Amino acid sequence: MAFGTLDRTPPPFFRQGPSALTKLIFFSALAIFLMVADSRFQVATPVRATLAVLLLPVQRTLAVPVEIVEGGSDYLGGLRLALQREAQAQRRLAAQAERVLRVEQLAQENARLRALLELRPALAGRAQPAEVMYEAADPYSRKVFIDRGSAQGVLAGSPVINEAGVLGQVTRVYALTSEVSLLADKDAAIPVLNTRTQQRSAAFGGGTPGGMELRFTSANADVLVGDLLQTSGLDGVYPPGLPVAKVAAVQRRVESGFARISLLPTANPDGVRHVLVLEPLNLQLPPRPAPASESAKPERKLNAPGRKGATTP
């Protein structure tokens, strides 16, 4: 064996030092002392602050790979979502372009027909935007309040619509707010026209929760599921041609002469925020001509008696 590799440490019998129990007691007491000192005198606070400052670059360095992986996955996911939305937007744009072309063709044809028939142009209704503030607290009605009132020119009975169709009608007007009864309200009613059959009827609210029903319709009436109902304009309140509801279900009962027809409003009032308040149609119509008065009988002027030219009746 080489001389330099000899173990010169003394055997365990000759080793001197504290025992394991003594070390345990010492370090336990030191730990308790440090905890009490830190709790009462904040001794370890500067040490922790120094360690936090020293270890911050290390933490930042170790977090860089994690941030790179997370950022890369987010970028790839966002890129894929952006491509999908771009494809959807292109399809919608193509569909809207086709629809715009059809609408322009129909508008030109309608203008030519009106010019040929010497019909008056359709009335341009005046409207003002409004915002729904909150829903009425009455659990037995479907009403909302909007931020427009008599100060803004809102009138009782004004129709309220959005981009999907008719929402309801203004029933109460205050100074700065108005109460709107929705079509699903139990007291709501609106004259409608079936666009497929051109049959007129009346739709009432309160048929089903959040829906409507078509009352007083005979059991053999030509009404099918999916038929679109629009305003007929006969009430002098709603302009004609506004979407109202679609037929959701038709129940033809043998024992009754009327069919039970459930409707689903085209304009969903849940979650609606902005609406348009229209002026009632009867205010836009020209005034009715005064009734022809009876032809006045010619009065005979009598000269005073005794004057020249006096006549007798």
Tens-place pLDDT, residues 261-297: 999 999 888 878 888 898 887 776 666 676 665 444 4
- Please give the pLDDT value at position 8: 61
107 residue type, one letter: A
Is 310's pLDDT higher than 50? no
**Class of CATH domain 127-284:** mainly beta
* pTM score: 0.54
298 residue type, one letter: P
- Tokens for 95, please give them: 């569909």
Long-range contacts of 230-235 (CB under 8 A, 24+ apart): 230/192, 230/193, 230/195, 231/166, 231/190, 231/191, 231/192, 231/193, 232/191, 232/192, 232/193, 232/200, 233/191, 233/281, 234/191, 234/200, 235/190, 235/191, 235/281
CA distance 192 to 234: 9
- Please give the pLDDT value at position 292: 64
- Please give the pLDDT value at position 112: 64
Nearest to 265 by CA among 226, 210, 200: 210
pLDDT digits (tens, 9 = 90+) for 15-34: 567 788 888 999 999 888 88
* Cβ-contact 187, 180 below 8 angstroms: no
* Cβ-contact 186, 148 below 8 angstroms: no
pLDDT digits (tens, 9 = 90+) for 152-200: 999 999 999 888 889 999 999 999 999 999 999 988 999 999 999 999 9
Q: Any idea where the domains of the chain sit in the sequence?
A: 31-117, 127-284
Rounded mean pLDDT of 77-84?
89
* Cβ-contact 244, 231 below 8 angstroms: yes
